[in-house]
């Protein structure tokens, strides 16, 4: 497991440990924070979301099928262990989902009053999964 290649991104790296690669079942996601400070936003399809701040020693439980993302809000490297009670870990990112949706739908729904910003946003979407990527360097003037 430790011999696998780590994914390198600006500001850190990621190592995914998987015990088995067959079949899949949805499962809750448990996370234990080893170091650093994180902000987790969990969102549901019913237009609701909650945001939590975590630090080393904290534990969280994200219910199955709940979209979420983790942001490093500290000055140091973020380290956490994710645990799933499932035979195989499978996921897709919000970016993959948006990239697979017709661009006009994404731009019009997310940027109703900012057509130029919507087009710029959808142009940067990638269908290829990236475990971590830096924030886009958009103009400071906003959308």
CA angle, residues 92, 95, 100, in degrees to nearest 5: 85
Q: Tell me, yes or no, if 90 is annotated catalytic.
A: no
- Catalytic choice (82, 95, 123, 124): 82
Q: What CA–CA distance (Å, rounded) separates 107 from 123? A: 10
Distance CA 5, CA 96 (A): 22
* Sequence-ordered list of residues with C-beta below 8 angstroms from that of 66, at least 6 positions apart, any chain: 42, 43, 44
Measured over the CA atoms of residue 118, residue 124, residue 126 and residue 130, the dihedral's sign is negative
Active centre residues (catalytic): 82
């Amino acid at each position: 497991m430790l011999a696998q290649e780590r994914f390198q991104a600006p500001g850190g790296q990621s190592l995914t440990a998987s015990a088995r690669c067959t079949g899949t079942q949805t499962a809750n996601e448990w996370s234990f924070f080893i170091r650093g400070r994180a902000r987790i936003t969990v969102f549901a399809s019913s237009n609701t979301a909650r945001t939590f701040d975590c630090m080393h020693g904290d534990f969280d439980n994200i219910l199955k099928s709940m979209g979420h993302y983790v942001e490093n809000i500290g000055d140091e490297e973020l380290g956490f262990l994710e645990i799933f009670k499932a035979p195989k870990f499978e996921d897709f990112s919000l970016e993959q989902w948006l990239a697979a949706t017709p661009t006009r739908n994404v731009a019009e729904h997310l940027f109703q009053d900012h057509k130029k910003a919507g087009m710029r946003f959808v142009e940067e979407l990638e269908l290829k999964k990236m475990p971590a990527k830096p924030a886009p360097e958009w103009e400071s003037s906003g959308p």
